[in-house]
Amino acid sequence: MAHGKARLRQLAGMTALTLALCPQLAAAGAQQYEPLSAAVQAQLQRAIADTAAPRLAFEDPFAGEVWLKTMSARLARHVPNEADRLELLTTIHYEATRAGLDPQLVLGLIQVESAFRKFAVSRAGARGYMQVMPFWVDTIGERGQNLFNLRTNLRYGCTILRHYLDIERGNVFRALGRYNGSLGKPDYPNRVRRAWAGTWHYDVNPPADTAGPREPQRPQRYLGQS
């Protein structure tokens, strides 16, 4: 009996050591490699190459501050450091809006994909907040780009999700399935949509007579496009 207890303690210690030494595993799926046409590849390369400093994409600065404060409070349980939260949220809002996505959709996706763990790694090798597969760097990026870098990860993730939405002609359910490598299976898209409509729901201009939550905003167009 004593030997059995000692063995259990040894196994528990080994497990703890493994978790401490290895990257944080994520239970996410993975995007599947598909050949791209030259035109699509060039378009995605231009999107990845953006170097502008991230900023909140609100016409009204006060509205942007309200959004940032609201989302920061919701994110606190995942990201305790306030400065880190504000940097993450500002970058999410910029990259999502630039890609024509609802920032709240991206927040829901990150919650499901990585639980806001910067260094999360899936069993398939997907990396970072948005669980981007490394093959994308070779396909549309530049050698040496670090998918654990905050800006790089979000730029790739938002660009890839926009690409899948374009392929699926705006069908969010199917685009999310492609993103997770689980096209045709309802579990992942439903989990993201629940997080999108629940935890991260936000009305930029809520009507005064609204008694309950509304449907999530539809994806916007890229900044500067009609």
Please report, for the domain that includes residue 184, its CATH number: 1.10.530
Is residue 96 within 8 A of residue 158, CB to CB? The reply is: yes
Burial of 33 (0-12, 13-18, 19+ CB in 10 A): exposed
Residue 69 resides in a domain:
yes
Beta strands in the chain (DSSP E): 24-26, 120-122
Locate all alpha helices (DSSP H) within 53-185, ordered by sequence: 61-75, 82-98, 103-114, 135-140, 150-167, 172-180
Helix (H, G, I), strand (E, B) or coil at 74: helix
- Specify the pLDDT at position 26: 57
Residue 216 resides in a domain:
no
Residue 153 resides in a domain:
yes
Q: Mean pLDDT for each 10-residue chunk of the chain (226 residues)?
A: 46 37 54 86 89 87 95 98 97 96 98 97 95 96 94 97 96 96 94 97 65 40 35
Long-range CB contacts (within 8 A, 24+) of 53-62 = 54/90, 54/91, 54/93, 54/94, 54/95, 54/151, 55/90, 55/94, 56/90, 56/93, 56/94, 57/93, 57/94, 57/97, 57/98, 57/223, 58/204
Cα 178 to its chain centre, rounded Å, is 14
Number of folded domains that form the chain? 1
Q: Which domain holds residue 103?
A: 23-197
Active-site residues: which are they?
Answer: 113
Residue 28 resides in a domain:
yes
Predicted model pTM: 0.79
- Specify the pLDDT at position 138: 93
Residue 191 resides in a domain:
yes
Residue 116 resides in a domain:
yes
pLDDT digits (tens, 9 = 90+) for 91-134: 999 999 999 999 999 999 999 999 999 999 999 999 999 999 99
110's tokens: 């990150």
What CA–CA distances, in Å, run from 23 to 89, 108, 113, 222? 23, 22, 15, 34
Residue 50 resides in a domain:
yes
Residue 57 resides in a domain:
yes
